[in-house]
Structure 1
Amino acid sequence: MTGSIRAVPGPAAAGRPHAAIAVRGLGKRVSDATGELAILDGIEFTVQAGETVAVTGSSGSGKSTLLGLLAGLDVPSSGTVELAGHDLYRLDEDERARLRARHVGFVFQSFQLLPHLTALENVMLPLELAGRPAREAATRMLERVGLGQRLSHYPRTLSGGEQQRVSLARAFVVRPDLLFADEPTGSLDSATGQAVIDLMFELHRERGTTLLLVTHDPGLARRCARQLVIAGGRLVADSALAAA
Structure 2
Amino acid sequence: MQIKADPIIEVKGVGKRVSDATGELRILDGIEFDVAAGESLAIVGESGSGKSTLLGLLAGLDSASSGTIRLLGEDLGKLNEDQRAALRSRGVGFVFQSFQLMPHLTALENVMLPLELRGESRMSDGPHAPEDAVTRATRLLDAVGLAARTRHYPRVLSGGEQQRVALARAFVTRPAILFADEPTGSLDAATGQSVIQLMFEMNRAQGATLILVTHDLELARRCDRTLRIEAGRLRF
TM-score category by the smaller chain?
A: over 0.9
Please say if residues 55 and 215 of structure 1, whose CA atoms lie closer than 8 Å, have aligned partners that are also in contact. Answer: yes
The amino acid that maps onto 2:106 is T
Instruction: State the Cα RMSD in Å.
Output: 0.9
Question: Number of residues paired by the alignment?
Answer: 222
The amino acid that maps onto 1:149 is A
1:181-200 matched pairs, under 5 angstroms: 181-200=180-199
The amino acid that maps onto 1:118 is T
- Percent identity of the aligned residues? 70
**Unpaired stretches in structure 2, ≥5 consecutive residues:** 123-132
Q: Does 1:59 align with 2:47?
A: yes
Aligned to 2:27, the other structure's residue is in SS state strand
Once residues 226 and 17 of structure 1 are traced to their aligned partners in structure 2, the CA distance between those partners, rounded to angstroms, is 18
1:95-244 matched pairs, under 5 angstroms: 95-132=83-120, 133=122, 134-237=133-236
Q: Does 1:23 align with 2:11?
A: yes
Higher relative contact order (CA 8 A, sep 6+): 2
Q: Deviations over 1:126-178 (max 9, x none)?
A: 00111113111111110111100000000010011100000000000100000
TM-score (norm 2): 0.92
Q: Which residue of 2 aligns with 1:48?
A: 36
Aligned to 2:147, the other structure's residue is in SS state coil
Q: Which residue of 2 aligns with 1:8?
A: none
Aligned to 2:149, the other structure's residue is in SS state coil
Once residues 220 and 156 of structure 1 are traced to their aligned partners in structure 2, the CA distance between those partners, rounded to angstroms, is 28
Q: Deviations over 1:40-63 (max 9, x none)?
A: 000000000000110000111001
1:58-77 matched pairs, under 5 angstroms: 58-77=46-65
Please say if residues 27 and 41 of structure 1, whose CA atoms lie closer than 8 Å, have aligned partners that are also in contact. Answer: yes
The amino acid that maps onto 1:23 is V
Aligned to 1:149, the other structure's residue is in SS state helix
Runs of 4+ that moved beyond 6 A: none
Of the structure 1 ranges 189-198 and 131-140, higher mean CA displacement relative to structure 2 is found in 131-140
The amino acid that maps onto 2:37 is A
**Unpaired stretches in structure 1, ≥5 consecutive residues:** 1-15, 238-244
The amino acid that maps onto 1:116 is H
TM-score (norm 1): 0.89
1:35 to partner: Cα distance? 1.4
Once residues 201 and 138 of structure 2 are traced to their aligned partners in structure 1, the CA distance between those partners, rounded to angstroms, is 18
Q: Which residue of 1 aligns with 2:127?
A: none
Q: Which residue of 1 aligns with 2:125?
A: none
Aligned to 1:30, the other structure's residue is in SS state strand
1:72 to partner: Cα distance? 0.5
1:121 to partner: Cα distance? 0.3
Please say if residues 18 and 84 of structure 1, whose CA atoms lie closer than 8 Å, have aligned partners that are also in contact. Answer: no
Q: Deviations over 1:15-38 (max 9, x none)?
A: x94211100000001112221111
Once residues 58 and 227 of structure 1 are traced to their aligned partners in structure 2, the CA distance between those partners, rounded to angstroms, is 14
Once residues 218 and 30 of structure 1 are traced to their aligned partners in structure 2, the CA distance between those partners, rounded to angstroms, is 29
Select which of 56, 71, 76 maps to 1:83: 71
1:92 to partner: Cα distance? 1.1
The amino acid that maps onto 1:189 is D
Q: Which residue of 2 aligns with 1:4?
A: none
Please say if residues 52 and 211 of structure 1, whose CA atoms lie closer than 8 Å, have aligned partners that are also in contact. Answer: yes
